[in-house]
Structures are given as structure tokens and as C-alpha cells.
Amino acid sequence: MKEKTSARRRVRWDGVPSAKDGRREAILRLVANMLRDSRLSAFTIQDVANELGMTKGSLYYYFKDKQDLVYQCHMRSMELSLDALKASDDETLAPTERMRIILTRHIEAVAGEGFGGILQTDLDSLNEEQRSNYVRKRDRFERGLRTIIEAGVATGEFECADVKLAGFTILGAINWIPKWYRPKGSMTPGQISELMSDMLIKGLSPTGRGLPKNKTKKGPKSA
């Protein structure tokens, strides 16, 4: 009995994707999408098994319990965010270009990879070790984003009174995507990522940049 239990634990996923993780990936994507439209308290292992046409026993082969399943969703989501950070980690590029890379990759992952729904759940259901693992990865991503903002401020490409607040503002806008994004909507994840990245980068641009020369903003004419 102990040997079977140990074998089961060895195959449980650690949050890092590989070529053999297709089934786990499908389960995690489904759970993240389910959480976009329902409260965590209303979500059950049986719901997931029913959606996948699996037995609960088969689902437990991959995940220990509901808490483990939610935790792995959080970790997979963070792996995608860190992939975006890694793609932008090229100091030979201008900060604006690095920012565009990290934002487009991160936004497209939130909207198109199916893991955006997990962003709407809190960490209360996780144990201390799980929360610590997740927060460590989240903080690494946030620090990476702030580093790019700081580089842009240093070169004059960005203007920012508070880098930390700017980072929170950007990530807050992105984290809200699951609330309004629908796969069958009018825009693709790629289109959303390009447009949102433009808007967020413009928000960091020095004051007045892009306004027509010798023009001032005027209020609407009275009737």
C-alpha cells in the first residue's frame, strides 16, 4: 500500500510544464476557466471530473486534492508570467521594447492560455508552504517589471514618480482581464495584448509626448 502511495506522489506535477504534461495541462486549463465563472467555494473535484469525463479516482492520480489542484493552477499561471519576463530579459534592447515584450506575452497568457481565471482567486485556500512558493515567484515577476520601468526612467523613455505604484497599476489592469474577457468576443488575445500594451506604455511616456506641437487641450465648446 505504501509503495502505491509513493508512486502516486512521484508523478504529481511540480508546476513546471514538460512534453508529458498534456493531461495535467488540460485539467489545469479547465479548472482556471471554471474559476473565472464561479466562486472557489462552489467548485468541487467532482465538477472537474464531470467536465473531463474522468472519475474522481483518475483525477487524484494527478492531484492530491482540491487545494493541490488550485495551487498547481497558481503555479502554472506564474510559470507563464515568468516566461514573459525571461523573454524580455535582454538589456541590449531599449526599455520600451522590453516592456512591450513582457506586457504582450503576459497579457496574451492571461487572456489566451486559459489561466486568467486563477488570478481572481485568493490564496486563503493554500497552506503556508504553497503560499510562500507562489509569492516568491510572483514577487520575482513584479520585481522584473519594476526593473524595466526603472531602466526606462533612467534613459528618459518613461516618466514615473513612483515605480512600485506604476507596477501595481499595470498589473492590476492586466489581472482584471478575466472579469471581462470572453474567448468568443470581438478581439483575439493577440489583438488585446497589442492594444493594451500600447495603452499601458503610453501611460509611462513622459508628460506631453505625442501631443501635437503648439496645441493645447481645450474644453468642449458650449452650445
Find the CATH number of the domain harbouring 115: 1.10.357.10
Domain membership of residue 100 (yes or no) is yes
> How confident is the model at residue 15, as a pLDDT?
42
Are 71 and 122 within 8 A, CB to CB?
no
pLDDT one-digit tens code per residue, 177-210 = 888 888 888 899 999 999 999 999 999 999 745 4
Distant-in-sequence, close-in-space partners of 193: CB < 8 Å, separation ≥ 6? 103, 104, 105, 107, 108, 111
> Quick one: average pLDDT of 79-106?
95
The domain in which residue 174 lies consists of 8-204
Domain membership of residue 98 (yes or no) is yes
Q: Please determine, for residue 144, whether its predicted confidence score (pLDDT) is greater than 90.
A: yes
Domain membership of residue 210 (yes or no) is no
Domain membership of residue 218 (yes or no) is no
Domain membership of residue 212 (yes or no) is no
Confidence of residue 151 (pLDDT cuts 50, 70, 90): very high
Distances from the Cα of 143 to the Cα of 97, 137, 164, 167, angstroms: 17, 10, 9, 9
Domain membership of residue 215 (yes or no) is no
Domain membership of residue 188 (yes or no) is yes
Q: Please determine, for residue 48, whether its predicted confidence score (pLDDT) is greater than 80.
A: yes
The Cα 149–Cα 155 span in angstroms is: 10
Cβ neighbours around 157 below 10 Å, total: 19
Domain membership of residue 58 (yes or no) is yes
Q: Please determine, for residue 214, whether its predicted confidence score (pLDDT) is greater than 80.
A: no
Query: How many domains is the chain built from?
Result: 1
Confidence of residue 32 (pLDDT cuts 50, 70, 90): confident
